[in-house]
Amino acid sequence: MAYTTIDDPSAYFQTALFTGNAGTNAITNTGNSDLQPDWVWFKCRSATEHHGLFDSVRGVTKAVYSNLDIAEDNLADSLASFNSDGFTMGADTGSSGAFNGNSKTMVAWQWKAGTSFTNDASSTGIGSIDSAGSFNNDAGFSIVSFTGTGSNGTIKHGLSTAPKMLIIKRRDPSQSWSVYHTSLGTNKRLYLDLTDAVETTTTAWNNTAPTSSVFSVGTSNATNGNGENMIAYCFAEKQGYSKFGSYTGNNNADGPFVYTGFKPAWLMIKIASGTTNNWMMYDNKRSTFNLTDKIFEANNNGAEGTGLGIDMLSNGFKIRTTAGNGTNYNGGTYIYMAFAENPFVTSTGVPATAR
């Protein structure tokens, strides 16, 4: 069996850097493969602005904000279209230029799903709650829309392997984001918009791990509010492309090395227990060499900062700081999600090079 089935991660994930113009602004991806994104996560680098998350299932005008618990926003002129090789921005007046403001520098992280599905649970026998969305089995990523029932249930996610991570947002009333991570277990939940440590609960995921066909929700309003529209981002692990794991901090500048099996292109880290702190975000386009220390916090609206450096290596990442609790609190348990720039070894035996 080949080490990886994904020799070119840019076919499924890319980071784009651009400068806003407060008008029509077509952004073309520059990876080895064209990528038509289905999920785009925007953040202004040069100013204090909210994160904005858009996807093809809800539609280009619908924004949710990773740093806020508020309901879905309707922005008629921010993201104009998903294109075959990128996306086009509009004048962005509705968000006060948060995503395409004139002369503002921006980053857009993009993931591809691409194959639509609908599931009538009573007809197919898959799950107990109807769902619809877009999936990509090769990349292990799906976007799922469903209406909550308030009762324990299961939902088709569209993938052929069990997700290791779920990020769910109630779209209508205000509600914090719920995060399931395989390293924490089925009775644990983190909140994407908060610094909180992991919460013990059986109502988020019904104390049940995702399977190769469905994920489970309980009675929590944040994951299954009765009659409420929900959106879920589902991630299965793919060797050489994506990894969802954990490590233990040591408060040492010679910090933990975490093996992913690829050279990371994008990484998000959160302390789950031991103390509280932010969701730390890194990528290989804003920091083009080690030390990788240009950061955002998914739960904060601040401009791009520096600090809490890491090294992105050919086969993983290494923590290189003792400052703060964001990545290396002594004895703290951290979870992470990571996506590849290159697999450690391609299917034809070509190794990744270090930065």
pLDDT greater than 60 at residue 336: yes
What pLDDT is stored for residue 1 in this prediction?
44
For 171-190, the pLDDT digits (tens) are: 988 999 999 999 999 999 99
Quote the pLDDT of residue 173. 85
- Tell me the pLDDT tens digit for each residue of 129-179: 999 999 999 999 999 999 999 999 999 999 999 999 999 999 988 999 999
pLDDT at 53 over 60: yes
pLDDT digits (tens, 9 = 90+) for 58-96: 999 999 999 999 999 999 999 999 999 999 999 999 999
3-state secondary structure the chain: CCCCCCCCHHHCEEEEEEECCCCCEEEECCCCCCCCCCEEEEEECCCCCCCEEEECCCEEEEEECCCCCCCCEECCCCEEEEECCEEEECCCCCCCCCCCCCCCEEEEEEECCCEEEEECHHHHCCCCECEEEEEECCCCEEEEEEECCCCCEEEECCCCCCCCEEEEEECCCCCCCEEEECCCCCCEEEECCCCCCCEECCCCCCCCCCCCCEEEECCCHHHHCCCCEEEEEEECCCCCCEEEEEEECCCCCCCCEEECCEEEEEEEEEEEECCCCCEEEEECCCCCCCCEEEEEECCCCCCCEEEEEEEEECCEEEECCCCCCCCCCCCCEEEEEEEEEEECECCCCCECCCC
Domain 115-235 has CATH 2.60.40: yes
Average pLDDT, the chain: 96
Instruction: Identify the band that residue 353 occupies on the pLDDT scale cut at 50, 70 and 90.
Output: confident
Residues of the chain with CATH 2.60.40: 115-235
Percent of the chain at pLDDT above 70? 99
